[in-house]
Structures are given as structure tokens and as C-alpha cells.
Amino acid sequence: MQNTEVSENSEPTGAGRSLRAVYVAGGTSVFGTQMTLLALPWLVLESSGSATRTGLVFAVQVLPMALLGLVGSEAIHRLGARRTMVVADAARAVAIGLVPALSAAGLLGLGALLAIVAAIGVLGVPYFAAQRLLATELTGPDPRRLTRTNSVLEGGFNFAMFAGPAAAGVLIALIGAAQVLWFDAASYAFSCLLLSLFVPRGAGSSQPAAAIRPGILAGLRALRDDDFMRPVMISTIAFGFLLRILTLSLPLLAFERFGRDARVGGLLVAGFGAGALIGSFISYLIANRLSPARLMGLSVVQLVLPLWVLATPAPVALLVVALAVAAAGLPLNNAPFFSILATRFPDEVRTKVVQSVVTLSNIAGPLGYLAGGLAMQSLGVTPTLFAVAALCSLAAANLLRVIRRLERPAERAGPADLVERQPSHA
């Protein structure tokens, strides 16, 4: 048995050590993934000079996330969350290491590269959901503590999104794209080692087969049947779609409105990334002071209001501030959202629900990029940003309406009861 001594505001010491390992392992793994997203296409450009091949490699890497998302929950159920992460990290370390090894031997053709990239994409499908589920089990059922845990996970993800490509860019310039991929492989191997050494084998174990609701669509059915999650998912998918349009618009905004100044584009993107990182830190600090529902409601207002500034002829400094404030609302919204998600559904369906949410968001993303490109091509950047702000406001209004319904019974029942109906577990 592990030592389970606790303090008022901390996890049990054994679980706390395991949870810290999950934080570091997950952040390291995502950091490696973000480096790979730049290094692999760059390697193709260096070797072939073909933009078409580069786009194909990028698409093959991210497409499995959308196409195979629901299948990921089956892997988690059969292997357990911890083992899913360990196996995925170990296999990705080998797969990404094959790329520079084959390249050095002169054996890396396009077919081999696409096969390796597709395998890496498939292995990443269940990883995010497995990480959230494992962290939930190690944290325990308290919603506010879960919000803090998810804030740390959001912080690690946002830091990796911000720093991973930058580190890859510097290393590519110094040692070349192929050699950078060795660093990526090492990041996966390190993550695998941390999870193997510091997270108990039984953590995140799959449920007995008899307890699993059959079918890969069980998570979608659970979301559909839940009176709270059904309308929330409408807003979640809408934000997943619309915020991809926003991301795509930033370099085009600098191009069209600020005389094709690449420095402005860099400032806008950096402002958004920095805001998301700051939001993760704030979320961790205030998670114990607000209920997940209240934090989620306030953050969606913070996310939406600055978007209207982007549709005005504001100076660059104001645009950067608006983007940072809006981006800070993302982790402030995501952390309590996953906390509510983890406590709202029983064990036998929770895995499928989390994976379904991730899958729906991944499907909405590419569609947002496609629609955004078409809209900005035909309407221009400013009208498109106006439409994004308007549609995000509608999605926020829907979310606030549902959250008010969630908060009412929590206020009557007391601060510990933060959702309309929480399942009781033995």
C-alpha cells in the first residue's frame, strides 16, 4: 500500500507523486509532438522542396485524430489509461526514431514516411483522453481539486504549444530537421519512463468487461441523453470550429490590415499563445475559490468579449491585448469543463464520453480551417472576424443559459455538490 497521508489542500502523498509524474510525462510528450509537427514537414521540404508532399505529411499526421477518435476509447478500456499512455509513448519513440535512421541510410521514401507518420497519428488518438482519465483517478472526485488538476494539464499543453515549435525552429537551424527528430523520440521515451516508474500499474485500470456499456458510440449516446451536456456540446463544437477560423485569421489579418508586416503576425500569434499560458496559471490559483460551473461561466464571457475588438480598426497593441485576454479564457473554461465531465458520468461510460468530446472537437477543427479559408477568400478578413465574434457570442449565450441551470441545485445543496447529478461510486 502507498502512503496516503494527506493535508487539507493536497493529494495523498503517493497519489501526488504519481500525479506529478503524469503532469511532467504529459507535458514532455506534447512538447515532443509539437516539435514533430514542425520538424517532419520541414524535413520533407528540405529533401523534396514539394509543398504538396509537405501538406500530405501534415494531413496524414493529424487525420487519425478525427477519423479514429471514437476507437480510442476501446483501447483505453482494454489497456487502462496508464498502460495506454505507456504503450503510445514507447511506440511513438520507436516510430519517430525510424525517420532519421532511415533518412541517414538513404531508405526514407515518401511511402515509408507516410506509413510512419500515420502510425504516429494513430498512436496519439487515445492519449489525451487517457491522460485526463488517469489524472482524474489520481486526483479523486472533488470537483474543485479536479479543476486545479486540469489547470496544470492545460498549462503543460499550452506551454508545449508555445515553446515546442520555437525550440524545434532553433534546433532545425542548428542541427537540421532529421537530427531534431531524435530529440522528439527522446521526449516520448522519457515520458514512457516516468509513467512506468512513478505511476502504479493498477492506476487507470480498465473496467471489467461486464461493466462497459457496449459499442464505440456509447459516449455519444451518453452526451445526447444528458440534459446538461447535450446543449453544452453544441457550444463546445461551435467554439472548436470558430476558434480555428480565428487562428487562421491572425497572419492574414497582419497581411491585409497592416501592410503585409510579418512582425505584426508574429506578435498576434505570440499574444494568443502567451494569454493561454497565463490563463492556465490563473485557473490553478482560483480553482478552489469558485465552483467549476461559476468559473466556466465567467471564462466564456472573458473569451468572447475581446473578439469584437478584432473586427474593429484597432491598433496592434490593443489587438495583442485582446487576443491575450481571450486566449486566457480558454484554459479557464477547459479546466472546469473537464472537471464537470469527470464527475458527471459513471465509471463505465466516462472513458467513452471523454474520448467522444475530444473526437468531436478534432473533427470541428479541420472543418473550421477549411470554412475560414473560404470565408476570408470571399468576404475578407474583417467581415469574417465580425461573423466569428457574433457566432461565438451566440455559443456563449447558450452556454451561460445551461450553466445557470447547473448552478441552481448546487447553491441549494451546498458548495460540495457542484453538478446537477453526480453518480455515487463505491
What is the span of the domain harbouring residue 315? 218-413
Residues 233 and 350 in one domain: yes
Residue 55: CB partners within 8 Å, gap ≥ 6?
none
- What is the rounded average pLDDT of the residues 332-360? 85
Distance CA 2, CA 15 (A): 8
- What is the rounded average pLDDT of the residues 320-337? 93
Residues 196 and 247 in one domain: no
DSSP assigned state of 50: -
Residues 121 and 230 in one domain: no
Closest by CA to 200, choosing from 37, 413, 21, 396, is 21
In a 13 Å sphere around the CA of 372, the CA atoms on its Cβ side amount to 25
> Taking 70 as the threshold, does the pLDDT of residue 189 lie above it?
yes
pLDDT of residue 362: 75
pLDDT of residue 413: 40
Look at residues 184, 206, 228 and tell me which one is the last residue of a structural domain. Answer: 206
pLDDT of residue 205: 59
pLDDT for 105-133, tens place per residue?
Answer: 888 888 888 889 888 888 888 888 889 88
* pLDDT above 70 as % of the chain: 85
pLDDT for 71-100, tens place per residue?
Answer: 777 788 788 889 999 999 999 999 999 999
Residues 178 and 259 in one domain: no
Residues 156 and 189 in one domain: yes
Q: Is residue 212 part of a domain?
A: no
pLDDT, the chain, mean: 82
pLDDT band for position 9 (50/70/90)?
very low
pLDDT of residue 66: 65
CATH of the domain at 389: 1.20.1250.20
Residues 175 and 227 in one domain: no
Look at residues 183, 206, 229 and tell me which one is the last residue of a structural domain. Answer: 206
- What is the rounded average pLDDT of the residues 220-245? 91
pLDDT of residue 296: 92
Question: How many domains, in total, are found in the chain?
Answer: 2
pLDDT of residue 32: 84
pLDDT of residue 162: 75
State the alpha helices, DSSP H only, in 305-380: 307-310, 316-344, 347-379
pLDDT of residue 47: 78
Q: Is residue 85 part of a domain?
A: yes
Q: Is residue 422 part of a domain?
A: no
Residues 107 and 20 in one domain: yes
Other Cβ atoms closer than 10 A to 417: 15
pLDDT for 297-306, tens place per residue?
Answer: 999 999 999 9
> Taking 80 as the threshold, does the pLDDT of residue 52 lie above it?
no
- What is the rounded average pLDDT of the residues 323-333? 93
Range among 56-60, 141-145, 393-397 with highest mean pLDDT value: 393-397
Q: Measured between alpha carbons, how far is residue 85 from residues 5, 30, 204, 391 in Å?
A: 27, 12, 10, 36
Q: Is residue 423 part of a domain?
A: no
Distance CA 181, CA 368 (A): 29
pLDDT of residue 220: 87
Q: Measured between alpha carbons, how far is residue 166 from residues 169, 287, 320 in Å?
A: 5, 30, 19
Q: Is residue 276 part of a domain?
A: yes
Residues 163 and 243 in one domain: no
Give the range among 31-40, 388-397, 402-411 with minimum mean pLDDT. Answer: 402-411
Residues 170 and 222 in one domain: no
- What is the rounded average pLDDT of the residues 56-78? 72
pLDDT of residue 5: 39
Q: Mind spelling out the 3-state secondary structure of the chain?
A: CCCCCCCCCCCCHHHHHHHHHHHHHHHHHHHHHHHHHHHHHHHHHHHHCCHHHHHHHHHHHHHHHHHCHHHHHHHHHHHCHHHHHHHHHHHHHHHHHHHHHHHHCCCCCHHHHHHHHHHHHHHHCCHHHHHHHHHHHHHCCCHHHHHHHHHHHHHHHHHHHHHHHHHHHHHHHHHCHHHHHHHHHHHHHHHHHHHHHHCCCCCCCCCCHHHCCCCCCHHHHHHHHCCCHHHHHHHHHHHHHHHHHHHHHHHHHHHHHCCCCHHHHHHHHHHHHHHHHHHHHHHHHHCCCCCHHHHHHHHHHHHHCCHHHHCCCCCHHHHHHHHHHHHHHHHHHHHHHHHHHHHHCCHHHHHHHHHHHHHHHHHHHHHHHHHHHHHHHHHCHHHHHHHHHHHHHHHHHHHHHHHHHHHHHHHHHCCCCCCCCCCCCC
> Taking 50 as the threshold, does the pLDDT of residue 158 lie above it?
yes
Residues 81 and 176 in one domain: yes
pLDDT of residue 213: 45
Q: Is residue 5 part of a domain?
A: no
pLDDT of residue 14: 58
Residues 330 and 184 in one domain: no
pLDDT of residue 325: 96
pLDDT for 244-278, tens place per residue?
Answer: 889 888 878 888 888 877 678 778 877 888 899 89
Q: Is residue 213 part of a domain?
A: no
Q: Is residue 3 part of a domain?
A: no
Residues 158 and 258 in one domain: no
> Taking 50 as the threshold, does the pLDDT of residue 377 lie above it?
yes
pLDDT of residue 279: 92
> Taking 80 as the threshold, does the pLDDT of residue 65 lie above it?
no
What phi and psi values does residue 27 have, to the nearest 5 degrees? -65, -40
- What is the rounded average pLDDT of the residues 153-167? 82
pLDDT for 141-155, tens place per residue?
Answer: 888 888 999 899 988
Look at residues 142, 176, 206 and tell me which one is the last residue of a structural domain. Answer: 206
pLDDT of residue 212: 43
- What is the rounded average pLDDT of the residues 328-334? 92
Other Cβ atoms closer than 10 A to 274: 17
User: Which CB contacts under 8 angstroms, 24+ apart, belong to 261-270?
Assistant: 264/316, 267/316, 267/320, 268/316, 268/319, 268/320, 268/323, 270/320
